[in-house]
A and B are shown apart, each in its own frame.
Chain A
Amino acid sequence: MATQLERDKHARYLLHCLREVPQPYAALDTSRLSLAYFCVAGLDVLAHLGKIDAPLRAGIVEWIYSLQVLPPSDGCAGLPADRLGGFRGSGYLGAAHSSGGAPSSSPYDGAHLAMTYTALAVLLTLGDDLSRVDGPRVLAFVSSLQDEAGCFSAYPGGERDMRFLFCAAAVVAMLRGGAVPPSSGIDVERATRYVLESRGFDGGFGLGPGQESHGGSTFTGLAALALMGTLRRLPQPQRTVRWCVERQVGGFQGRPNKDEDTCYSFWIGGSLALLGAATLLQRAALSAFCLSCQFAHPTFGGIAKHPDTRPDLLHTHYALCGLSLAGAAGLAPLEPRLGITARAAARARGCEAEGECQTCEEETTVWDGSLREPG
């Protein structure tokens, strides 16, 4: 069992995957952008972003922009105008690689909300200024996906749940200076109500009203509230704090009576951070569990879900995020609301470096840290 964080090996693993990933990832063919996000954002948490050489860096940025959905050249692809904008997850539907964005090749070749989130997250992480993102179209796309209940779907007519509500808030925030402004095109009031209605009897949050509380949906719900500036409206936040701290069994489990799993290091560790309660997670135990899930290989690292299983990109990235929250040496601090480093998030606010932006610190700690009930 490794007791040290194998930073260089993890960087090598992520860099390797940034070029090519093995067969099992074929299941992520339509959401390849998320793989790029895990690699790039993970390298940033490792403070090893510099290992992506300049040509590859430029190549990633160009590839992402080529996934931006533009109106079809003949104007007859059948998609309503407000649904053109945002990013696809890959060129799996045959759009031609094209600088700055590719016209929709069919009514099906449109953007996906989660892929739009990961596109912006990677661009910010790589230092891009988002100047080639068609902001108004992206915002129109996002607001077209909100339903009566306040939730968001992944794409027009697609599945709806808390994951996409978070992505909507994060996309708007990244385009509008780091937080969701009052008139952004999304209905903050309804979205807030949806999140609050999805809170379970135990203080955690489900993917929708009535569903079982779960680490992933608890994080996405809280982060969405934080981005929308409505986290203070959460009644009895200490009930959510208790649900979160009770999930720690060493590492974190995603639900009561389930096994610990490295990705919840971020989902639940991040939830505690959003609640201003990061100090309540037991850092040593969390670190020990994440480190025990490092892949033992002479060259390549990577972190698995459980000890003694194969590593994968999602668990590597979120375990690194968890380790960062646990204060592991050498890792970059996070902006938990956006799932990227604080350095990358500062770029969304138009700051070159974290230090330049005095307001960042205040905004990040949405709560005052004392965990008193608001109001």
Chain B
Amino acid sequence: FSDLEPLPQDDGPVPVVRIAYPDGFEEVMSYFRRVVVTGECSQRTLQLSAEVIAHNAANYTAWQYRRRCLEAMHSGSSNAAREQAWREELAFCTARGRENLKNYQVWFHRRSCLARLGSGPEAELEFVAEILRDDSKNYHAWGHRQWVLSSCGGWEGEAAFVEGLLEEDARNNSAWNQRYFLLQHTADLSSLSVAEGEVDFAARFIAAAPGNPSPWNYLRGVVEPLGYSAVPRVRLLCEGLLAGDAASGAGRVAAMSLLVDVLDEGGDPAEQERARSLCDSLEDLDSLREAYWQWRRSRV
């Protein structure tokens, strides 16, 4: 880069939140600034953007510039050569992605590569699965997985994948969300039999750990739109848990909390009276939410 004059950052007379840059950061950025101004798109500027990313993977312009470089460098290439270039770019993105799993830019760049490659979902779903094996609640990875499914398909293996994750860790709320997402796209959520099946599914996890809020939320989310009276097994589940001694603490609170909504739904005075008395008990049992239960009681 000896032919290029480095372009320094100009912070003016009163620098604010000046960053104590690590060694090498400013030098690489000074060349990158110059290159972006000149607009050069070549192998060496592609390499320079990789250096910028090595110093700061959150530099969205460096990723943007890579896309620009690849497009410019391959505007006259054969389809095969262009595809090869984007495949290499995806590999670069994979390598950087593993080091920056919570970085928005890397995931965004990944989508750009995939959109240009237009391949099937299998390899990409496997990549996300691998990331989720280490970080099962990674919000970016789940968002990416939803994008892959929505744009490339691959729904057929999703139910088993999600169920496997839930068997491993029933407290993985992201996996519960994915099960709902899957249902939204592949099943009829207004169907009573679908809802009953999902209640039974959630109930199995509730029985194993009544204090886990995820299956409770899931169950509510599935049944609320249909109305609790349409799915009587919800009430039976709550009553059953409260009658036995399997549920204590958070599990009891969860069952009582749902039962309040079930009892309140139909507007029957006797049932509503019981709902109010449950709220009274919840004020003590769930004392962190004392004010909430008073408010909930006032709404019955």
Contact = CB atoms under 8 A, between A and B. Distances in A.
Nearest to A33: B17
A280 B295 contact: yes
Given A91-B10, A210-B181, A27 B218 contact: no
Contacts of A19: 15-18
B19 interface: yes
Contact of B58 (A30, A55, A56, A207): A30
Interface in A106-138: 106-109
B34 interface: yes
Interface string A281-322: 010010000000000000000000000000000000000000
Contact of B299 (A60, A158, A238): A238
Interface string A269-283: 000000001011010
Contact of B36 (A93, A201, A282): A93
Contact of A212 (B11, B57, B173, B290): B173
A97 B59 CA distance: 20
A74 interface: no
A240 interface: no
B85 interface: no
Given A27-B56, A28-B58, A94-B34, A62 B171 contact: no
Contacts of B181: 210
B54 to A, nearest CB: 12
A36 B289 CA distance: 36
A159 B295 CA distance: 40
Q: How large is the interface on B (under 10, 10 to 19, 20 to 34, 35 or more residues)?
A: 35 or more
A77 to B, nearest CB: 10
Interface stretch (A165-173, A222-230, A255-263, A351-359): A255-263
B19 A96 contact: no
B13 interface: yes
Contacts of A366: none
Per DSSP, chain B at the interface is helix
Nearest to A246: B213
A23 interface: yes
Interface in A172-214: 200-202, 206-208, 210-214
B29 interface: yes
A32 interface: yes
B137 interface: yes
Given A92-B9, A202-B220, A22 B20 contact: yes
B294 to A, nearest CB: 9
A17 interface: yes
Contacts of B21: 23, 26, 29
A245 interface: yes
Given A94-B37, A201-B221, A212-B177, A255 B146 contact: no
Contact of A92 (B33, B143, B146): B33
Interface residues of A, number: 75
A202 B9 contact: no
Nearest to B23: A23
A1 interface: no
Interface in B247-300: 288-292, 295, 299
Nearest to B57: A27
A371 B295 contact: yes
A200 B177 contact: yes
Interface in B45-85: 55-61, 64-65
A375 interface: no
A97 B17 contact: no
A246 B213 CA distance: 9
B135 to A, nearest CB: 12
B20 A23 contact: yes
A21 interface: yes
A343 to B, nearest CB: 22
B92 interface: no
Given A214-B139, A238-B299, A285-B288, A25 B16 contact: no
A94 B10 CA distance: 7
A63 B14 contact: yes
A92 B177 contact: no
A248 interface: yes
A341 interface: no
Contacts of B224: 239
B96 to A, nearest CB: 13
B291 A280 contact: yes
A226 to B, nearest CB: 20
B7 interface: yes
A21 B18 contact: yes
B171 A257 contact: yes
A148 interface: no
B278 to A, nearest CB: 15
Interface of A: 17-23, 25-32, 35-36, 39, 55-56, 58-60, 62-63, 66, 90-97, 105-109, 154-155, 157-159, 200-202, 206-208, 210-214, 238-239, 241-243, 245-246, 248-250, 255-258, 277, 279-280, 282, 285, 371
Given A30-B61, A245-B292, 13 more contacts: A21-B17, A21-B19, A22-B20, A23-B20, A29-B58, A39-B17, A92-B59, A106-B36, A243-B217, A250-B288, A280-B289, A282-B289, A371-B299
Closest 5 CB pairs of A and B: A59-B14, A201-B221, A97-B12, A94-B33, A212-B177
16 contacts: A26-B55, A28-B19, A29-B21, A32-B17, A60-B16, A66-B12, A93-B33, A94-B37, A106-B37, A108-B61, A158-B64, A200-B180, A202-B221, A212-B142, A214-B139, A282-B288
